[in-house]
Structure 1
Amino acid sequence: MTAIMTALRSFAFMLIFYSGSLLFVLAAMLVGGLHPDMVPRIATAWSRFHRGCARWILGQTVVVDGDLPLGPYLYIIKHESMFETIDMLCLFDRPVIGAKRELLDIPLWGLIARRYGLIPIERSAGASALRALRSAARAATEQGRAICLFPEGTRVPHGEAPPLKSGFAGLYSLLGLPVVPIAVDSGRVSPRGRFMKRAGTITYKVGAIVPTGLDRKEAERIVHAAINALNPRRP
């Protein structure tokens, strides 16, 4: 019976969330051309809609373990599921999220993402691309917007701890911002690539702030340990 209920909930979530998402995309397309400042508001409403669907359809609740500091920080987040990519807009006020440039080339979605202010991340960024990234990040912090990055580059199964992409150390030095590492265990209830999504609690665990000026390898070591703090302990 539990498996049947999980399947029914997962199907209902897919039907309602993706149908509703289409309406948000259309709204952003129609309104964004005339009033670009409305795009972040529509995106935030979409994120809240997503969290509501997760809560009331799937039975997933969200807990933040620790104090989440707000300010000019670089937030580095564990990436296990689609959940946190959308939920960032519930955690922060109009956050700027680093995304692979290929995602910004997707028709319709890419246009809205650019209007929202996502920062394109080049996998092999040259000097000019890094300068553009720094300028975009500075503009975001001047507006009081959080900068969020997923340093693993892609979603990873819960419990796995791959090394951070080499770009993190470069961004840490380039942006000159203290880092707030955040662990998340969304993959326990919403595994990557799985239709079945289970009820349960999704936890964000906020790590200690990593100051600027550390050796790049040391900063990487601290952040890697912090974002994997919710992984099962190995014997």
Structure 2
Amino acid sequence: MRFMISALRSLAFYVAFYVGSVLFVLGSILSMRVSRPTFRVVVSGWSGWHRLCCRYLLGIRVNLENPVFKPNVLYAIRHESFFEAIDLPWLFQLPVVFAKAELLRIPGWGAAGRNYGLIGVEREAGAKALRIMLTEARRLIAEGRPLVIFPEGTRVPHGERRKLQAGFAGIYKLLGLPVIPVAVDSGPLYHRRWKLSGTIRYRFGEEIPPGLPRDEVETRVEAAINALNR
């Protein structure tokens, strides 16, 4: 019985969220040619629609532990599922997100993502590509927007730990921003075909100052983002 309820809830979620997403993407493409504030509201609305679908169709609540929201900070978030990736525009105020470059090649969605402030990260990027990426990041930081990165570089199953990608320490050093690590435990409920009800938690760690040696900042961030990984 529990499986059937989970399956029916998940099917309802897939239909509602993805049909709604098509409408939001179309709305974002139209609005970004007319009004930047309206465009940003549409993007945030898409993320909020996802929250509503999770809450009322899947029975997933979200709990924030020790939340800290401020501009000119690099948030380093553990990545367990698509939940936190979709949730970012609702969780933060106009976040600038370092994302896989291939996501920005998706027709329609990619154009909206670039216009909103996603920065594409090429896995094999050379020095020139890195300079362009950091220049764009600094431009958006100047607008008072927070930066967000998934320092593991990909989704990691709940219960597993992986070393941070080398690019994280480089971005931390070159941008000279403090880091706020954020743990999340979305995997057990969301990263599955038939999703489960329950509570997904974000736990915000202590702010890490800029300028630390690479080994120290990586050790502190890795420990903090895995605080719920058990």
TM-score, normalised relative to structure 2: 0.96
2:112 maps to amino acid: I
Structure 2 stretches lacking a partner, 5+ long? none
1: CA distance between counterparts of 2:87 and 2:106? Answer: 20
1:49 maps to amino acid: W
**Structure 1 equivalent of residue 210 of structure 2:** 212
**Structure 1 equivalent of residue 166 of structure 2:** 166
1:208 maps to amino acid: E
Q: Cα offset for 1:61?
A: 0.4
Q: Cα offset for 1:125?
A: 2.4
Question: Residues 125-136 of structure 1: matches in 2 within 5 Å?
Answer: 125-136=125-136
1:84 maps to amino acid: E
Q: Cα offset for 1:45?
A: 0.4
Once the two structures are superposed, residues 55-104 of structure 1 have per-residue CA deviations (whole angstroms, 9 ceiling, x without a partner) of 01100000111131412100000000110001111111111111111111
**Structure 2 equivalent of residue 86 of structure 1:** 86
**Structure 2 equivalent of residue 139 of structure 1:** 139
**Structure 1 equivalent of residue 5 of structure 2:** 5
Q: Cα offset for 1:24?
A: 0.4
Equivalent of 2:197, from 196, 199, 213? 199
**Structure 2 equivalent of residue 39 of structure 1:** 39
1: CA distance between counterparts of 2:152 and 2:168? Answer: 9
Query: In 1, are the aligned partners of 2:69 and 2:92 still within 8 Å (CA)?
Result: no
1: CA distance between counterparts of 2:214 and 2:39? Answer: 36
**Structure 2 equivalent of residue 222 of structure 1:** 220
Q: Cα offset for 1:38?
A: 2.5
- Matched pairs, number: 230
- Per the alignment, in what secondary structure is the counterpart of residue 99 of structure 2? strand
Query: In 2, are the aligned partners of 1:178 and 1:210 still within 8 Å (CA)?
Result: yes
2: CA distance between counterparts of 1:130 and 1:68? Answer: 28
2:210 maps to amino acid: T
2:10 maps to amino acid: S
1:202 maps to amino acid: I
Query: In 2, are the aligned partners of 1:39 and 1:115 still within 8 Å (CA)?
Result: no
**Structure 2 equivalent of residue 151 of structure 1:** 151
- Per the alignment, in what secondary structure is the counterpart of residue 219 of structure 1? helix
1:99 aligns with 2:99: yes
**Structure 2 equivalent of residue 189 of structure 1:** 189
Range that drifts further, 29-38 or 173-182: 29-38
Q: Cα offset for 1:213?
A: 1.0
Q: Cα offset for 1:52?
A: 0.5
Structure 1 stretches lacking a partner, 5+ long? none
Query: In percent, how many aligned pairs have the same letter?
Result: 50
Query: In 1, are the aligned partners of 2:134 and 2:175 still within 8 Å (CA)?
Result: yes
Q: Cα offset for 1:121?
A: 1.1
2:106 maps to amino acid: I
Question: Residues 99-118 of structure 1: matches in 2 within 5 Å?
Answer: 99-118=99-118
Q: Cα offset for 1:34?
A: 2.7
Range that drifts further, 11-20 or 69-78: 69-78
Query: In 2, are the aligned partners of 1:94 and 1:145 still within 8 Å (CA)?
Result: yes
- Give the superposed CA RMSD: 1.1
2: CA distance between counterparts of 1:78 and 1:140? Answer: 23
- Per the alignment, in what secondary structure is the counterpart of residue 182 of structure 1? strand
